[in-house]
């Protein structure tokens, strides 16, 4: 394509809420045949809310207090993280009830840890909590399974080296996601869901959207590996994501697209930022590049 055509395409994109970093992005978008989609914050709104708190090992009258304490310590820790799960947990406890945190560490795509009111606290996926040498007892495992059966994301709260709670979160598919997936398929792209969330939750959302290729339980480095694996099959791969943990995969993809409401890390790593809320812009971007570069398929 001529430089003028690319410039015109870039200008059209800007009016559609598709911010294109350079002419290479339009060229790359042209040949894409596979689109990898992050789940939380990309297919879903990422505006999660705490739906249930289970206090492990608490019974009767002390149970409500134990649940309050699990949530209070978890919220204090998560206040320092930007992850959608963290925002939801922090928002569930008023600021004046949260307590001070030392040695905060965020492990992208896994969870967070730190010292809260003098006690070691960690919040995250089951495998992350186990990696901290915390055993997941039967009650914890059962609570996680119950959430998964509902198709809901859940995280474990460890306090003082023991699993003390499970926090379940609800998320909703973005209203434009089903139409956007249909548009992507109409352009001949195969959608693949790629998520750090548990398989049962991923499957539930995928089934709702008619996505049959699902890769779940991945760590952030696993997202890059999956992109490379698909490229190794001879595919030309686009990736859409919002999180810090998506940044490396966005950079590795032939075309990286970041959700405008997502993290700065994702936007810096991507070739295109979708300013309008939702996935529709991803289909618009591919359609625009094909029009601009004169390809009709
Ligand atoms: P997705 O790929 O669907 O966007 P992520 O890779 O961001 O999901 O997160 C994967 C999993 O890691 C979450 O489902 C959760 O179990 C855990 N996790 C990540 N960040 C946090 C956090 N700040 N607090 C608790 N758990 C977290
Ligand atoms: Mg995400």
Q: Name the closest-CA residue to atom 26, ligand 1.
A: 124
Query: In the prediction, which pLDDT does 297 show?
Result: 47
pLDDT exceeds cutoff 80 at 182: yes
Query: In the prediction, which pLDDT does 295 show?
Result: 59
pLDDT exceeds cutoff 90 at 140: yes
Of 27-36, 52-61, 102-111, 196-205, which range is least confident?
52-61
194 in helix, strand or coil? Answer: strand
Average pLDDT, integer, range 1-11: 82
Average pLDDT, integer, range 247-264: 95
Mean pLDDT of the chain: 93
Average pLDDT, integer, range 268-282: 94
Burial 250-280, CB ≥16 within 10 A → b, else e: bbbbbbbbbbbbbbebbbebbbbbbbeebbb
**Cβ–Cβ < 8 Å for 52, 214:** no
pLDDT exceeds cutoff 90 at 30: no
Q: Give 219-235 pLDDT, tens digit per residue.
A: 888 999 999 999 999 99
Q: Is 196 in the pocket of ligand 1 (CB under 6 A)?
A: yes
The CATH number linked to 92 is 3.40.1110.10
**What is the Cα–Cα distance from 40 to 196, expressed in whole angstroms?**
9
Average pLDDT, integer, range 2-17: 86
Same domain, 40 and 76: no
Question: What is the atom index within ligand 1 of the atom nearest the CA of 244?
Answer: 7
Kindly state whether residue 297 falls inside one of the protein's structural domains.
no
Same domain, 36 and 181: yes
pLDDT exceeds cutoff 70 at 1: no
Nearest ligand, measured from the Cα of 205: 1
Q: Smallest Cα–Cα separation from 53: which of 155, 162, 160, 141?
A: 155
Question: What is the atom index within ligand 1 of the atom nearest the CA of 218?
Answer: 6
Of 52-61, 233-242, 244-253, which range is least confident?
52-61
Question: What is the atom index within ligand 1 of the atom nearest the CA of 81?
Answer: 23
**What is the Cα–Cα distance from 188 to 208, expressed in whole angstroms?**
20
Q: Is 125 in the pocket of ligand 1 (CB under 6 A)?
A: yes
Query: In the prediction, which pLDDT does 20 show?
Result: 92
Listing DSSP states for 83-131 in one string gives: SHHHHHHHHTS-GGG---EEEEEEETTTEEEEEETTEEEEEE-HHHHHH
Query: In the prediction, which pLDDT does 10 show?
Result: 87
> Ligand 2 centroid vs 164 CA: distance in angstroms?
26
Query: In the prediction, which pLDDT does 144 show?
Result: 96
Listing DSSP states for 60-75 in one string gives: TTHHHHHHHHHHHHHH
Average pLDDT, integer, range 8-18: 89
**What is the Cα–Cα distance from 289 to 18, expressed in whole angstroms?**
11
Q: Is 38 in the pocket of ligand 1 (CB under 6 A)?
A: yes
Q: Name the closest-CA residue to atom 10, ligand 1.
A: 196
Same domain, 156 and 58: yes
Nearest ligand, measured from the Cα of 195: 1
Average pLDDT, integer, range 35-41: 96
Question: What is the atom index within ligand 1 of the atom nearest the CA of 126?
Answer: 16
The CATH number linked to 266 is 3.40.50.1000
Q: Is 86 in the pocket of ligand 1 (CB under 6 A)?
A: yes
Residue-range definition of the domain harbouring residue 140: 49-170
> Ligand 2 centroid vs 41 CA: distance in angstroms?
5
> Ligand 1 centroid vs 109 CA: distance in angstroms?
5
Same domain, 206 and 218: yes
Of 38, 108, 242, 254, the catalytic one is: 38
**Cβ–Cβ < 8 Å for 195, 215:** yes
> Ligand 1 centroid vs 197 CA: distance in angstroms?
6
Same domain, 57 and 161: yes
Same domain, 222 and 248: yes
Q: Is 108 in the pocket of ligand 1 (CB under 6 A)?
A: no
> Ligand 1 centroid vs 6 CA: distance in angstroms?
37
* Predicted structure pTM score: 0.89
Query: In the prediction, which pLDDT does 23 show?
Result: 77
pLDDT exceeds cutoff 60 at 143: yes
- The question of whether 246 is a catalytic residue gets the answer no
**Cβ–Cβ < 8 Å for 71, 89:** yes
Q: Give 74-94 pLDDT, tens digit per residue.
A: 999 999 998 999 999 999 999
Average pLDDT, integer, range 105-121: 95
Same domain, 104 and 71: yes
Helix (H) / strand (E) element for 250: namely helix 247-252
Alpha-carbon Rg of the chain, whole angstroms? 21
Same domain, 91 and 152: yes
> Ligand 1 centroid vs 295 CA: distance in angstroms?
39
Q: Give 47-63 pLDDT, tens digit per residue.
A: 999 999 999 988 777 88
Percent of the chain scoring above 70 in pLDDT = 99
Query: In the prediction, which pLDDT does 294 show?
Result: 76
Q: Is 85 in the pocket of ligand 1 (CB under 6 A)?
A: yes
- Residue finishing a domain among 119, 149, 170: 170
């Amino acid at each position: 394509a001529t430089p003028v055509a690319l410039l015109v395409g870039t200008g059209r994109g800007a009016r559609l809420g598709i911010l294109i970093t350079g002419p290479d992005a339009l060229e790359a978008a042209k040949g894409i045949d596979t689109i990898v989609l992050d789940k939380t914050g990309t297919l879903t709104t990422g505006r999660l809310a705490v739906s249930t708190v289970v206090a492990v090992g608490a019974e009767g009258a002390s149970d409500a207090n134990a649940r309050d304490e699990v949530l209070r310590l978890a919220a204090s820790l998560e206040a320092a993280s930007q992850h959608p799960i963290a925002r939801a947990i922090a928002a569930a406890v008023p600021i004046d009830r949260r307590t001070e945190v030392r040695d905060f560490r965020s492990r992208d795509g896994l969870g967070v840890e730190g010292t809260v009111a003098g006690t070691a606290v960690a919040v995250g996926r089951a495998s992350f909590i186990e990696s901290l040498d915390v055993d997941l007892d039967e009650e914890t495992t059962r609570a996680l399974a119950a959430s998964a059966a509902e198709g809901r994301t859940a995280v474990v709260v460890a306090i003082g080296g023991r699993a003390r709670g499970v926090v379940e979160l609800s998320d909703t598919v973005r209203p434009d996601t089903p139409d956007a997936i249909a548009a992507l398929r109409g352009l001949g792209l195969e959608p693949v869901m790629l998520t750090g969330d548990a398989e049962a939750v991923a499957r539930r959302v995928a089934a709702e959207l008619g996505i049959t290729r699902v890769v779940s339980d991945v760590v952030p480095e696993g997202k890059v590996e999956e992109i490379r694996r698909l490229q190794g099959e001879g595919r030309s791969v686009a990736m859409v994501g919002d999180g810090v943990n998506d940044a490396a995969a966005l950079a590795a993809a032939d075309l990286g697209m970041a959700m405008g409401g997502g993290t700065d890390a994702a936007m810096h790593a991507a070739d295109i930022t979708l300013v309008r809320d939702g996935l529709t812009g991803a289909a618009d971007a591919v359609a625009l590049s094909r029009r601009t570069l004169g390809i009709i398929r």
